Amino acid sequence: MATNYFDRDSETVSRADLQTLQETRLRSLLGRLKERVPFYRQALADTGVDSAHVTLADLNRLPFTRKDDLRARYPFGLLAVGRSELARVHASSGTTGKLTVVGYSAADLDLLAEVNARCLVMAGARPGMMLHNAYGYGLFTGGLGLHAGAERLGMTVVPVSGGMTERQVSLIQDFGPDVIACTPSFGLTLAQALAERGVAPDEISISLAVVGAEPWTESLRSRLEAGLDARASNIYGLSEVIGPGVSSECVEHRSGSHINEDHFLPEVVDPQTGQAVPEGEDGVLVLTTLTKEALPLLRYWTGDVASLTSEPCPCGRTLARMSLVRGRTDDMIVVRGTNVFPSQVEAALGKVAELAPHYRLIVRRDDTLDEVTVAVEVTPATETRLAETRLAVEADELRDAELEQRTGRAVRETVGCSMQIRLVRPGGLERSQGGKLSRVVDQRELS
Ligand SMILES: [Zn+2]
């Protein structure tokens, strides 16, 4: 199949031309930040960098921007345009504290549509296809971001948003969409609801899934693809940088997500030192918005842990690729000196056939040591087997010493430290309703 691009020139530009464009845009960005945003005027003056002649080699002399910088200037303190030029406001809620507010000019909304259209084509979508958009609409950027991209591409959009799983299942059966966009956890919720209705995965029309907004793993991808009988590609973004549309996997190869580098300049840095790490090594993803007007951000510290490669991709795109996000530095838990991301535990659980891909990590503090319990659902078949052997006990918990030991071993081998395993009946853990799902329940403050 010949690869299609939404914007061939931008997506297959030579690396040399891309670098020239990035440097031109970086100079213009620094000029605007100095002129219009007091926070950056101060921060840039301290660096002594000549913004008119800056090159990519100077990047590491420029200051990072962190989520706390946005929160401290809540709601509009970092905007580079007047309020009357603001076309839309979105916001994201963290697990704690204030909303992080982001603003868009008319040109920013145009860019949001453009980069999402690119990502949809990368994921295999084409004009005329129908998109079942189960990303949340509202202050969250996911729903409206994909919506704009799909319209720009010329798709038929069904703006379902998150939640109301039963109705979504009916709509999928009745409308016959080609593509679904959703978080991985909500995709599993839908797959399970279809199975409970007795609908086989190949009886639904969906053939492509555009999946993101949460860190996820290859084992979860396999389960999702089996459950929906669809080819699932990762899409990545974050509201502070634009929303969805920062990067996407090409459906042909799916070995890393192509970053729309002409608009979002990526770096991967060491989380402790802030220094660039070599290509292929994990670190914190840092993004500079090269073209955004209302909320341009310099070296935004995403907190997402990933690696980067600029190796050519067989799809023909020259845009650098980022790995699946391994986790977030703020989701990272430290257990007896070992850094643990929920995605590592997920990968371990994926190796045990009796388990379903629904889990939580419960972190407690016993004396001074952090102890982690993995609560994980078993499959319905496993529940039946345990019920027959009378191993099932009270409430939602199940006991099977052999399965617990085997699961514990898989976790220890993958993650590098021991965790307690608690088996839970199918449906015993809360499901995603389309928003972001937190895998970690931190009870350390309470104990
Ligand atoms: Zn590619």
pLDDT tens-digit readout, 215-253: 888 989 999 999 999 999 999 999 999 999 999 999 999
pLDDT score of 113 more than 80: yes
Give distance in angstroms: CA of 353 to centre of ligand 1: 31
346 compared with 446, residue with greater pLDDT: 346
- Taking residue 209's Cβ as centre, other Cβ atoms within 10 Å add up to 28
> In this structure, are 26 and 152 located in the same domain?
yes
Residue 76 maps to a domain: yes
- How far, in Å, from the CA of 414 to the mean position of ligand 1? 29
Section 429-441 average pLDDT: 74
Q: How far is the CA of 137 from the centre of ligand 1 (A)?
A: 29
Contact partners, residue 138, CB within 8 Å, separation at least 6: 161
Q: What is the pLDDT of residues 55-79, one digit of tens each?
A: 999 999 999 999 989 989 999 999 9
| pLDDT, position 221 | 95
pLDDT at 200: 96
Confidence (pLDDT) at 389: 72
Residue 95 has pLDDT above 70, yes or no: no
Report if residue 254 sits inside a domain: yes
**Residue-level pLDDT at 434:** 60
Residues 237 and 386 in one domain: no
Residue 3 clears pLDDT 70, i.e. is over it? no
Residues 2 and 18 in one domain: yes
Q: Is the pLDDT of residue 53 over 90?
A: yes
pLDDT at 426 over 80: yes
Residue-wise pLDDT tens digits, 246-275: 999 999 999 999 999 999 999 999 988 899
Q: Tell me the residue range of the domain where 347 lies.
A: 333-442
- Give the residue carrying structure tokens 């379902």: 160
* Residue 249 shares a structural domain with residue 397: no
**Is 112 inside a domain boundary?**
yes
Same domain, 268 and 339: no
- Taking the centre of ligand 1 as the mean of its atom positions, its distance from the CA of residue 61, in whole angstroms, is 31
CA distance readout (Å), 130 to 174, 209, 243, 252, 362 = 12, 12, 21, 20, 39
Q: Please check whether residue 154 lies inside any domain of the structure.
A: yes
- pLDDT tens digits, residue range 341-394? 888 898 899 999 999 989 999 988 777 677 899 999 999 999 888 887 765 555
Q: How far does residue 390's CA lie from ligand 1's centre (Å)?
A: 51
- As a whole number, the mean pLDDT across the chain is 91
Cα–ligand 1 centroid distance for 261 (angstroms): 14
132 CA to middle of ligand 1, Å? 24
Instruction: Examine the domain organization and report whether 285 and 309 are in the same domain.
Output: yes
Compute the distance from residue 136 Cα to the ligand 1 centre, in Å: 27
Using a pLDDT cut of 70, give the percent of the chain over it: 95
List the CATH number of the domain containing 157: 3.40.50.12780
The bridge status of strand 243-249 relative to strand 231-238 is antiparallel
What's the confidence (pLDDT) of residue 43? 94
* Residue 447, domain member (yes or no): no
Which CATH number characterizes residue 365's domain?
3.30.300.30
Calculate what percentage of the chain has a pLDDT beyond 90.
Answer: 76
My answer on whether 278 and 375 are in the same domain is no
Q: Does the structure show a pLDDT above 90 at 7?
A: yes
Q: How far is the CA of 119 from the centre of ligand 1 (A)?
A: 11
Cα of 189 vs centre of ligand 1, distance in Å, is 29
C-alpha of residue 104 to centroid of ligand 1, in Å: 29
Residue 124, pLDDT score: 98
Q: How many A from CA of 49 to the centre of ligand 1? A: 35
Distance 324 CA to ligand 1 centre (A): 14
Indicate whether 2 pLDDT > 50.
no
Question: Confidence class of residue 93 from pLDDT cuts 50, 70 and 90?
Answer: confident
Split at pLDDT 50, 70, 90, the class of 94 is low
pTM: 0.83
CA 313 to ligand 1 center in whole angstroms: 5
Range with the lowest mean pLDDT among 67-76, 289-298, 325-334, 413-422? 325-334
Distance from Cα 9 to the centre of ligand 1, integer Å = 15
285 and 183 in one domain?
yes
* Residue 287 reports pLDDT greater than 70: yes
Q: Are residues 111 and 237 in the same domain?
A: yes
pLDDT of 81 higher than 50: yes
Ion ligand 1, residue ranges at CB < 5 A: 250, 253, 313, 315, 317
Residues 195 and 76 grouped into a single domain: yes
The tally of domains found in the chain comes to 2
Decide: 360 and 441 in contact? Cβ < 8 Å.
yes
Distance 248 CA to ligand 1 centre (A): 9
| Distance from the alpha carbon of residue 166 to the mean position of ligand 1, in angstroms | 35
Q: Which of 59-63, 206-210, 313-317, 383-387 has the lowest mean pLDDT?
A: 383-387
CA of 419 to the centre of ligand 1 (A): 37
pLDDT of residue 18: 98
292: closest CA among 138, 124, 90?
A: 90
Q: What is the dihedral of CA 245, 251, 256, 262, to 10 degrees?
A: -40
pLDDT higher than threshold 60 for residue 96: no
> Is 365 found in the same domain as 292?
no
Which CA distances in Å does 58 have to 66, 81, 276, 282? 19, 26, 12, 22
